[in-house]
Amino acid sequence: MKRVGYWISEKKSKKLNFEDHRELFRKEGFELVKIDVTRELESQGPFDVIIHKLTDYIAKANDGYQPAQQYVHNMQKYVEDHPNCIMIDRIDSLQNLLDRNKQYKSILRCNMLSEDSPVCTPTFVRLTTKDVDVNRTKISEANVTFPLVCKPIASHGSKYAHMMSIIFNDEGLKDVNPPCVAQSFINHNALLFKIFAIGNKMFVVQRPSLKNLYPSDQETIYFDTQEVSKRDSTHFLNELDASDIESSPIKPDMNRLIEVGRSIRDTMHLDLFGVDVIIDSENKNYAVIDINAFPGIYERMS
């Protein structure tokens, strides 16, 4: 019988019903074993496969938090000592997701994002200061346009990873909160397509998203992505203006979305991840705007 070690938070474990599924896994020849990351893994093994969502601890380890560094070390050492053990996903692959600037640069390497491709990632730039003049220059040089979305540089590790802002004009650059990534906002008729990847299997669901926005003298808007992109979100930012309703909805090309997911899997060496994709309401191009490790997979598009 194959032994599958796993570590996920208690909250996620309950949502995925890991404990309830033990017998189902056993019938298929897999023994589920919950890993204690505070201890070395050698005495808890052997493991044929390790599945985990250690991203928050990896982010804290990168920030110098010693307990998290030890937890990550315990995982890494076991895989180093047992090269035949499959880790989903490898920590070095996850590192590219934790920093949004690195993440977007990695996306640019995907083979689907060639110059003449209908798939892109919005222009972006890393901002490390509140100096308006410096940021204005960086944004201009990177061809980032208003309105723009300011996202925390850290994509995991704290609740602030989901706290973002929309800046509509030059005056709003005073609201930049570094370190962050400023990314051009692309109008997409308030529709977001989430690709859930499990190995080479891709599943797509549709979610609410931000309504169409335009450069204006409007003051900066702050929002939590977890409030605007849930299945049942009813945030005011989800409501399309009357002038935009006639161009909605946008019907996705499911094959293209699946190709996007597989291209990202091949480029970033991931097996359990989610991709957020929007479709430009004007030119119908597909834009990859975020990648998440081990997302919540609770629904699928029929």
Confidence of residue 299 (pLDDT cuts 50, 70, 90): very low
Strand order in the sheet with 124-127: 124-127, 180-184, 148-152, 163-167, 221-224
Confidence of residue 246 (pLDDT cuts 50, 70, 90): low
How many residues are recorded in the chain?
A: 302
> Higher model confidence: residue 250 or residue 276?
276
In the DSSP assignment, the letter for residue 261 is H
- The annotation places the binding site for ATP at 100, 151, 183-194, 209
Instruction: Sketch out the chain's domains with CATH numbers.
Output: 2-88 (3.40.50.11370), 97-293 (3.30.470.20)
Torsion of CA 247, 251, 256, 257, to 10 degrees: 100
> At 271, is the secondary structure helix, strand, or coil?
coil
Question: Token match 């033990």: residue?
Answer: 22
- The annotation places the binding site for Mg(2+) at 276, 290, 292
pLDDT digits (tens, 9 = 90+) for 193-231: 999 999 999 999 999 999 999 999 999 999 988 887 767
Max mean pLDDT among 119-123, 141-145, 250-254 falls in 141-145
Average pLDDT, the chain: 90
Confidence of residue 21 (pLDDT cuts 50, 70, 90): confident
> DSSP per residue over 125-138, as a string?
EEE----HHHHHHH
- The annotation places the binding site at 12, 53, 100, 151, 162, 183-194, 209, 276, 290, 292, 296
- The annotation places the binding site for 1D-myo-inositol 1,3,4-trisphosphate at 12, 53, 162, 292, 296
In sequence order, the 6+-apart residues with CB closer than 8 A to the CB of 113 are: 107, 119, 120, 121, 263, 288
